[in-house]
Amino acid sequence: MSEGAVAAAGEPEKKSRFTLPSAYTILFALIVLVAIATWIIPAGIYNLNANGEPVPGTYHEVASHPAHILRDSLTAPINGLYGIENAKGNINYYNSGTLFGAIDIALFILVIGGFLGVTMKTGAIETGIGSLVERMRGKERLMIPVLMCVFALGGTTFGMAEESLAFYALVITVMIAAGYDALTGAAIVLLGCGIGVLGSTVNPFATGIASGIAGISISEGIVGRLVILIVGLAIGIFFVLRYAERVKKDPSKSLVYDLKESNEARFRAASGGETPAMTGTQKAVLAVFALAFAVMIYGVIPWEDIGIPLPTWWWWFPEMTASFLLFAIIIGLIGRLGEGQLTTSFVDGARDLLGVALIIGIARGITVIMNNAQITDTVLHWIEKALGDSGEVWFLILMFLLFLPLSFVIPSTSGLATLSMPIVAPLAGFIGVSTALVVTAYQSASGVMNLVVPTSAVVMGGLAIARVPYGTYLRWVWPLLGLLSALVVVVLAISAAI
């Protein structure tokens, strides 16, 4: 869950003369540019097979149908949500997750937001992590890998991002008291959650949306993503531990040594209260919270197709949405939330993710413009010719490298997935590459960039709380970014080869 606005604590930052526009502005500008492009790019289509998929080598030009720039630019996001792609109301002709528009995905996101809002209202997640920190006082070196694993678990399952800002002050306080520095504390939270999102397994905001738009199950490709998660987390833990031990042996080695005294005074003053112990109710809430994701995973796996004798539920977004709605109600009842508290916390949680749902509609509008003007296949044809016989491995590496700058320009994981998957998913079929590997390339590139992208409220907010200058953090973390990127490339290459 990488979108949202955060009011971060810390010293005021100097405003630069230029700031990158928001994802909303960028995506809407792209709609207008694509509408203009429909007057320039020739229209064309591929022949389709029995499954409604484009057949390689069958592209041919057709009569042009350029967009009405003003009208279509304004109506495209609305039509994208409903799946309307021409005046007759026909929907996308590709047999993919875009078949039903984006309204099912947008509703899923809103219900997930409500589910998280109810869970956070019970205080179970915050108290659970706070209680873990308190229990491990005196074992701070062990705390670094344990806490990074906990935060990574949140990242890989529900895209923990903005929620992590509540833990920076607590973790930094404990780390400073143990002889480390503020950067160590900030890195535990930021890199823990970030690597979890990079190695998303069932994260509905990255893997879920991209898989849905690509028309595949969220469970496809999960083995490779697990490898990226486990190995990437191990690399991240080693990276943070090495720095932390260097600082503890010689505090002058700290990259924020000039702020040592002020940080110690500041976080010592902020550590007045003790974290309450977890109650039995909160433990039950966490158990049901985990069960909700386990049920989702079971529901989307096609057990019959893979030869496992288990009932297949054939779940898709409507069923997953209903499941999380049910679990939100169950968690509210377990947490003894009154009717007013339950509904209010659900609505507040959904409101927090309203921006994500809107981004999906805006990004989907780009595909609507392209499909109505019949230039989607033309762009696909151009990319097919450019890649030529690049082969499966090089195709995936190129996709990963392509998604890196795209993730910088569009840091919204859901917006990027909605924008790119309708094109790259059929392209993968041309090359003979598993669509699940393209999803992995997308989410990994997005995960790498969202560890450092300056438009991320989580990155900038967390660093502001820790009072770590962005430039200092960037110089420190870039070797880790290189290692994580190399890991992704290796996993993609091996997955394509086997």
User: In sequence order, what DSSP letters do the residues of 163-218 get, joined into one string?
Assistant: GGGGGHHHHHHHHHHTT--HHHHHHHHHHHHHHHHHT-SS-IIIIIHHHHHHTS-T
pLDDT band at 323 (very low <50, low <70, confident <90, very high): very high
* Averaged pLDDT for residues 234-238: 96
Per the structure, how many domains does the chain have?
Answer: 1
pLDDT score, position 13: 45
Domain enclosing residue 409, as ranges: 23-497
12 within some domain: no
Residue 48: strand pairing partners: 54
5 within some domain: no
437 within some domain: yes
380 within some domain: yes
d(CA 402, CA 241): 32
13 within some domain: no
d(CA 205, CA 415): 10
113 within some domain: yes
pLDDT band at 7 (very low <50, low <70, confident <90, very high): very low
476 within some domain: yes
pLDDT in tens, 288-312: 998 998 898 788 777 876 677 888 8
* Averaged pLDDT for residues 128-157: 84
- Contact (Cβ atoms closer than 8 angstroms) between residue 439 and residue 213: no
- The tokens for 124 are 């179970």
- Contact (Cβ atoms closer than 8 angstroms) between residue 473 and residue 191: no
Residue 54: strand pairing partners: 48
Q: Classify 61 as helix, strand or coil.
A: strand
Q: Classify 71 as helix, strand or coil.
A: helix
pLDDT band at 9 (very low <50, low <70, confident <90, very high): very low
CB atoms within 10 A of CB 126: 16
The helix (run of H) or strand (run of E) holding residue 60 is: strand 60-61
- pLDDT score of 21 more than 50: yes
- pLDDT score of 258 more than 90: no
d(CA 356, CA 206): 11
17 within some domain: no
- The tokens for 411 are 């840091």
Helix axes 354-372, 376-387, angle to 10 degrees: 90
